[in-house]
Structure 1
Amino acid sequence: MQAPILTLTLNPALDMATEVPELLAGQKLRCADPHLDPGGGGLNVSRAIKHLGGDSLALVALGGLTGDRLAGLIRAEGITFLSLLGPGETRQSLTVTEGTTGKQFRFMLPGPIWGEADRHGVFTLLSATARPGGYSVISGSQPPGVPVDFNAQLAASMEGSHIVLDTSGSALREVVKRPIPGLSVLRMDGEEGEELAGRRLETRVDTADFASSLVARGVAKMVIIARGAEGNVLAEAGRRLFAPAPKVKVKSTVGAGDSFVAAFVLALARSQGADDALSLGTAAAAAAVTTLATQLCRAEDVMRLLPYAEAVEI
């Protein structure tokens, strides 16, 4: 049995990935055939949940010809989704791998600007689709034009749902400064954690201390801070956990965070504890970096790596 999972993607992207032998300024660069994927934080979470054998409903804002093409890619992957008409043309993103060095260069377009009427339509749809007792994932970049407290407004329209938030920048700072009542999970990268803390988080204990301070302040019931290739730290009331990242050969870091969120939320939706969820999420993130471009994690890789990501108390 699995509780309902809803993902929200208001600034999706048509992800294109290609390769060139070498990036040279001023030269005409001949690219390899592009690989196309549906992209955006919440949409990637739904894709990874599907890869792991789970179910979710993806709410995706689509617009223009790019939105039509993105919808086709979503259908091709078998993702259950509802589309809402977004303003303007759905954005595109480009990942270019330099063949000689293996370095990746990621170019992200901003997306169309959202007005007040656009935002109101989202609140109405969320109120109708979010399920009490289910999990609702707000992940990825916010569309241009929304207020800094937009995540709080989104959460308020999903009454009774367990809200999982994976955000960054000014939106993350706003959530820490003015906590969203009842927020279930807040995830951030290590660099974001250090920016918020105003200091280096040198060790996992330092990271756990800071995460625990956020829990104590009521920022979220669970706070997760990624420590890159080292692993992930989770703090909740009276408990701190660390899951080591399995050692793998990195092909692409695209989608690692989204794969983590997908596996973590899926475990919670299946009534697993925080320790099992943290382990599964960490294994999924490690599995994601072994795949090319924007392909996310594969279930067989996650299960193979899971024994090496066992969560322990800090």
Structure 2
Amino acid sequence: MIVTLTVNPSLDRTITLERALQPGEVQSALSSREDAAGKGINVARSIAAAGAATRAVLPLAIDDPYRAILRASALPVCEVPIVGHSRANITIADPAGITTKLNLPGPALSPSDARAIIAAVVEASAGASWLVLAGSLPPGVGDDFYVVVINAVRAAHGESSPLIAVDTSGVALRTVVEHGTPDLIKPNDEELAELVGIELADDGPIDAVIAVARQLVPARAASALVTLGSRGAVLVTGESALVGEAPRIRVASTVGAGDSSLAGYVLAHAQGLAPDDCVRSAIRYGAAAASLPGTQAPTPADLPAGDVFVTTHS
């Protein structure tokens, strides 16, 4: 069982244009779609599409329009009742795969909402192999919310606690690595650079990414999966650094690609695969998601064919 927490879910609306976005102009759209999303939901949908056991914990009001779209996905969920509707995120995609995102804030959570969510995560995590804490934090909870969740799960389950992966950014991620000691973090290269307070060139050497990650691993996080878009991904652990190259694909939308990469990684790890195969799985799932429109969860049939080259760096 792989459990996910999405404390700030979103209804993703994706609009595909017939040509590049022209700010200030009226343009025609080729298509649009809506997906029940939020990072943890995206991860859980990819895991479920692979036929693996998962459960997604999220706050959700009874009258939230998000509910109908979520139920259509047939995803096993644990809903924590709240007041207020999930946010809507708008993505504008052009034929070249360039995306523009507008992310809205979510509903404010009360202290009792936060306590109920934490209790639901603790209960759902019993016997799980992984717990994935993913996405931004909504108004009403502190920057240390994920740390509070981690401590509650580990206090409740002790040595049988699941491995914990965190995929967030900014102050929330900084607080996790300072106080939470997660088993895995999944930043992209920009989020990693922000986390340690330096700049990384977009096309800079991979060794620079590895060096930055090693400032955190293993002292503050047991491992880091750093996604690099079209350049692939890097897995840094206390023992090694593995670099995987991304396959060539036709990009439709990059929204949710990093979430699918994380899903691919934890799926492979939960199956007991070797670290290099976990990296291959992460890259295949991320590439598959980027080749699909909207915020779709890739299935095993969507994964790109061919090998993913993984090398060990010192």
Task: Report the TM-score when normalising by structure 1.
Answer: 0.89
Matched with 2:61 is: 63
The answer to whether the 8 Å contact 2:147/2:175 transfers is: no
The answer to whether the 8 Å contact 2:56/2:78 transfers is: yes
Name the CA shift for 1:19/1:247 in 2 (closer, same or farther; >3 Å).
closer
Instruction: Quote the Cα distance in structure 2 between the aligned partners of 1:232 and 1:244.
Output: 7
Matched with 2:210 is: 208
Q: Percent identity?
A: 29
- 1:12 is aligned to 2:40: no
Matched with 1:191 is: 190
State the Cα RMSD in Å.
2.0
Write out per-residue CA displacement over residues 244-264 of structure 1, whole angstroms, 9 at most, x where no aligned residue.
111111111011001001111
Task: Report the 3-state secondary structure (helix = DSSP H, G, I; strand = E; otherwise coil) of the residue aligned with 1:229.
Answer: helix
Name the CA shift for 1:133/1:111 in 2 (closer, same or farther; >3 Å).
closer
Matched with 1:125 is: 120
Task: Report the 3-state secondary structure (helix = DSSP H, G, I; strand = E; otherwise coil) of the residue aligned with 2:215.
Answer: helix
The answer to whether the 8 Å contact 2:193/2:212 transfers is: no
Name the CA shift for 1:246/1:102 in 2 (closer, same or farther; >3 Å).
closer
Matched with 1:143 is: 138
Task: Report the 3-state secondary structure (helix = DSSP H, G, I; strand = E; otherwise coil) of the residue aligned with 1:213.
Answer: coil
Instruction: Quote the Cα distance in structure 2 between the aligned partners of 1:241 and 1:103.
Output: 28
The answer to whether the 8 Å contact 1:64/1:90 transfers is: no
Structure 2 regions of 5+ residues with no counterpart?
155-160
- 1:93 is aligned to 2:108: no
Moved more, 197-206 or 77-86: 197-206
Deviation at 1:133, TM superposition (A): 5.3
Instruction: Quote the Cα distance in structure 1 between the aligned partners of 2:42 and 2:82.
Output: 18
- 1:34 is aligned to 2:32: yes
The answer to whether the 8 Å contact 1:215/1:235 transfers is: yes
Task: Report the 3-state secondary structure (helix = DSSP H, G, I; strand = E; otherwise coil) of the residue aligned with 1:214.
Answer: coil
Deviation at 1:98, TM superposition (A): 4.2
Matched with 2:294 is: 293
The answer to whether the 8 Å contact 1:241/1:311 transfers is: yes
The answer to whether the 8 Å contact 2:6/2:133 transfers is: yes
2:71 counterpart letter in structure 1: R
Instruction: Quote the Cα distance in structure 2 between the aligned partners of 1:174 and 1:84.
Output: 25
Deviation at 1:230, TM superposition (A): 0.8
Matched with 1:78 is: 74
Write out per-residue CA displacement over residues 156-206 of structure 1, whole angstroms, 9 at most, x where no aligned residue.
122212111011011112223x2314x211110101112233334431111
The answer to whether the 8 Å contact 1:211/1:234 transfers is: no
Length, aligned pairs only: 303
1:296 counterpart letter in structure 2: A
Task: Report the 3-state secondary structure (helix = DSSP H, G, I; strand = E; otherwise coil) of the residue aligned with 1:215.
Answer: coil
Name the CA shift for 1:204/1:103 in 2 (closer, same or farther; >3 Å).
closer
Instruction: Quote the Cα distance in structure 1 between the aligned partners of 2:113 and 2:296.
Output: 30
Write out per-residue CA displacement over residues 106-159 of structure 1, whole angstroms, 9 at most, x where no aligned residue.
221111111211111112112221124521000111111211111100111222
Instruction: Quote the Cα distance in structure 1 between the aligned partners of 2:52 and 2:180.
Output: 27
Instruction: Quote the Cα distance in structure 1 between the aligned partners of 2:245 and 2:98.
Output: 25
Matched with 2:157 is: none
Task: Report the 3-state secondary structure (helix = DSSP H, G, I; strand = E; otherwise coil) of the residue aligned with 2:80.
Answer: strand
Task: Report the 3-state secondary structure (helix = DSSP H, G, I; strand = E; otherwise coil) of the residue aligned with 1:254.
Answer: coil
Instruction: Quote the Cα distance in structure 2 between the aligned partners of 1:272 and 1:126.
Output: 26
Task: Report the 3-state secondary structure (helix = DSSP H, G, I; strand = E; otherwise coil) of the residue aligned with 1:188.
Answer: coil
2:170 counterpart letter in structure 1: G
Deviation at 1:102, TM superposition (A): 5.4
Matched with 1:44 is: 42
Write out per-residue CA displacement over residues 53-104 of structure 1, whole angstroms, 9 at most, x where no aligned residue.
2220111211264x2x3222222222111111133121112222346x6543
What is the correspondence of 1:219-258 to structure 2 with a 5 Å cutoff?
219-258=220-259
Name the CA shift for 1:230/1:36 in 2 (closer, same or farther; >3 Å).
same
1:75 counterpart letter in structure 2: R
2:216 counterpart letter in structure 1: L
Name the CA shift for 1:133/1:102 in 2 (closer, same or farther; >3 Å).
closer
Name the CA shift for 1:21/1:247 in 2 (closer, same or farther; >3 Å).
closer
